[in-house]
Structure 1
Amino acid sequence: MQADQSQTRQPASGAAASIHNIGYRSYEGARLGRGYARRSLFVQSLRGGYGLGRSAKSKITPMLLAALMCVPAVIIVAIAITTELRDLPVDYREYAQFLAPVIGLYLAAMAPQSVSRDLRFRTVPLYFSRPVERADYVVAKYAGMACALFVFTATPLVLLYVGALLGKLDFGDQTADFALGLVSVAVLSVVYAGIGLVIAALTPRRGFGVAAIIAVLTIPYFAVTTVQFIATEQNALNAVGWLGLASPETLMTGFQAKFLGGPTDFPGAVVPSDAAGICYLLVILGLAAGSYAVLMARYRKAGL
């Protein structure tokens, strides 16, 4: 019996015997760190805002909405050139107000796509298992959504500006108004991106996020506008400017009318007072900072 055991313990010999070295080596490549990871997440979020890097189906909605955003600008330029107008019929600072429903649809479609998938499929902890910190994730997502919105809203302004120069309109006036228009849509992008991401991050259900964003952007606007008309009928014009603080769209209207010299669509063409203007600035800063704080708190729990 012992002889048999000793025979079975003998190593194999001949052609069937081989030794494989499967030892691990330490990583000797470049360690790119948190900065690279943060930039990569930002670029991925920005590209995702237009379906880039995803299936063709994912590109349909953002590209269609982008086309709807730009078509009126092309028509306005064509009319201005063919009729030899001395100025564009639509101000750069009010273009986003006219296309507010399209901007709302874009935000409602793309903000949940940016964050809801990570929450629904529980991939957030995988991000945080890398050098990426919670603040890196929030900043990258916020900046990506804001930049995607800025590209969405600024592109038609660029078309208007190029068309105005081709139509030989006054270069100085057009350049100054175009710059103020870019400031207007930049502020709008930061505010709307924060609102959209906060709402989308509260639920992993994309459909709920879409409906909630549309409701937050539309219901307060119609309510505020109705009350503003009532205040105008009561000759309480000072209240019209203060009421504009109560909805995102009227907030942006009052801001650009007060600080950027743009036209106002408030009833009675009211421009907010100096005191109300300070409150507009504070509310805009508060919305941006508050959105960041809420997202940080949300992902403190989601990252567990």
Structure 2
Amino acid sequence: MPPETGTTATSGRPPAAQDVIHNIGYRTYDGPRLGRGYARRSLYSQSLRGAYGLGRSAKSKVLPMVLLGVMCLPAAITVAVAVTTKMNKLPVDYTRYAIWLQLVIGLYLAAQAPQSVSRDLRFRTVPLYFSRPIERVDYVTAKFAAMASAMFVLTATPLLILYAGALLAKMGFAAQTKGFAQGLVSVALLSLLFAGIGLVVAALTPRRGFGVAAVIAVFTISYGAVSTVQNIALAGDNTTAVEWLGLFSPITLVDGVQTAFLSARTAFPGGHGPGAGTGTVYLLVVLALIAGSYGLLMRRYRKAGL
């Protein structure tokens, strides 16, 4: 007797179904192709917003917003005192503000640089960015620019508060504008330098905790070591060594550049900041570190298979 229709003669089971392509309603995209530029800008915007927890959970906003508030609080207090007592000059220079609050800046960078790059490496989501149309140079440029912009917001906002307060207190417009401009140049340079070094250190490990600790160690240990050796050199009356030792710490590098070219008062021991000649070396080292950080990031992501 022949087997029943739709079954096999040996097992009595229906034969295997053939592969079928089902139409589930997807439609092709006929709109404009926005290209690499749009993808790069989107990544920059998303990374910058993420540096302050915007578009993320409430928990992610706490630390960056608190640190921004801590950066601005001394400026607000200074302005309040200046306006109330009718001072004719701010008690703090625009170029010294970031130097005094370097600890807050370092904590912010240590928290946000790993957040910007470490998670992408840890969860291996970076290749998704490169499916199309973004490329490695776009990714690195967007991340670098976003971190530097976030640092600039952190360091320039209190300077803006000081400047507005100075004008409100009717201090000299020309002098305050010049000081404010010098301060902006200083923190712009600081933002680029710190962002580059912080991202390189953070990109070396996919573990965010290790990245935070490494960034803090790089900035804190280098500054502590340089300051200690500078004081030893000053005690030995070697002021030339005090000037050159500043090349070995990010914050003293910025201090040296603004002392040499932005009429800033130095924070070096004994007030022995670099002159124009030594300051040129400081500036070249800063620019080399910024360019080198970018190059190391490009190499890091090439090794990551991107």
What TM-score, normalized by structure 2, do the two folds share?
Answer: 0.91
Quickly say closer, same or farther: Cα 1:122–1:90, change in 2 above 3 A.
Answer: same
Name the structure 2 match of 1:177: 179
Q: 2-side partners of 1:162 and 1:40: how far apart?
A: 32
- The answer (yes or no) to whether the contact 2:261–2:276 under 8 Å persists in 1 is no
CA deviation vs aligned residue, 1:78-132 (integer Å, no higher than 9, x gap) = 1111222110000000000110000000000000000011011100111111211
Please give the residue correspondences for 1:154-193 in structure 2 after superposition, counting only pairs within 5 Å.
154-193=156-195
Name the structure 2 match of 1:14: none
Name the structure 1 match of 2:61: 59
Q: 2-side partners of 1:230 and 1:150: how far apart?
A: 33
Paired AA for residue 60 in structure 1: V
Q: Are positions 1:92 and 2:94 aligned together?
A: yes
Percentage of matched positions with identical amino acids:
67
Paired AA for residue 202 in structure 2: A
- Out of 133, 136, 154, the position equivalent to 1:134 is 136
CA deviation vs aligned residue, 1:57-84 (integer Å, no higher than 9, x gap) = 0000000000000000011111111222
CA deviation vs aligned residue, 1:236-274 (integer Å, no higher than 9, x gap) = 112211110010111111111111111111112112133
Name the structure 2 match of 1:151: 153
Give 1:234 deviation, angstroms: 1.6
- The answer (yes or no) to whether the contact 1:69–1:102 under 8 Å persists in 2 is yes
Quickly say closer, same or farther: Cα 1:168–1:26, change in 2 above 3 A.
Answer: same
Alignment gaps of 5+ in structure 2: 7-21
Name the structure 2 match of 1:12: none
Name the structure 1 match of 2:261: 259
- The answer (yes or no) to whether the contact 1:105–1:214 under 8 Å persists in 2 is yes
- Out of 115, 140, 145, the position equivalent to 1:113 is 115
Q: CA RMSD in A?
A: 1.6
What SS does the aligned partner of 1:96 have? helix
- Out of 274, 286, 291, the position equivalent to 2:288 is 286
Name the structure 1 match of 2:9: none
Give 1:24 deviation, angstroms: 5.9
Give 1:303 deviation, angstroms: 3.5
Q: 2-side partners of 1:21 and 1:248: how far apart?
A: 59
Quickly say closer, same or farther: Cα 1:208–1:21, change in 2 above 3 A.
Answer: closer
Quickly say closer, same or farther: Cα 1:168–1:274, change in 2 above 3 A.
Answer: closer
Q: 1-side partners of 2:25 and 2:220: how far apart?
A: 61
Name the structure 2 match of 1:270: 272
Name the structure 1 match of 2:43: 41
Quickly say closer, same or farther: Cα 1:280–1:2, change in 2 above 3 A.
Answer: same
Paired AA for residue 150 in structure 1: F
Q: Are positions 1:233 and 2:235 aligned together?
A: yes
What SS does the aligned partner of 1:89 have? coil
Alignment gaps of 5+ in structure 1: 7-19
Paired AA for residue 154 in structure 1: A
What SS does the aligned partner of 2:69 have? helix
Paired AA for residue 289 in structure 2: L
Q: 1-side partners of 2:301 and 2:3: how far apart?
A: 66
Greater mean deviation of Cα atoms: 278-287 or 42-51: 278-287
- The answer (yes or no) to whether the contact 2:79–2:162 under 8 Å persists in 1 is yes
Paired AA for residue 226 in structure 1: T
Paired AA for residue 42 in structure 1: Y
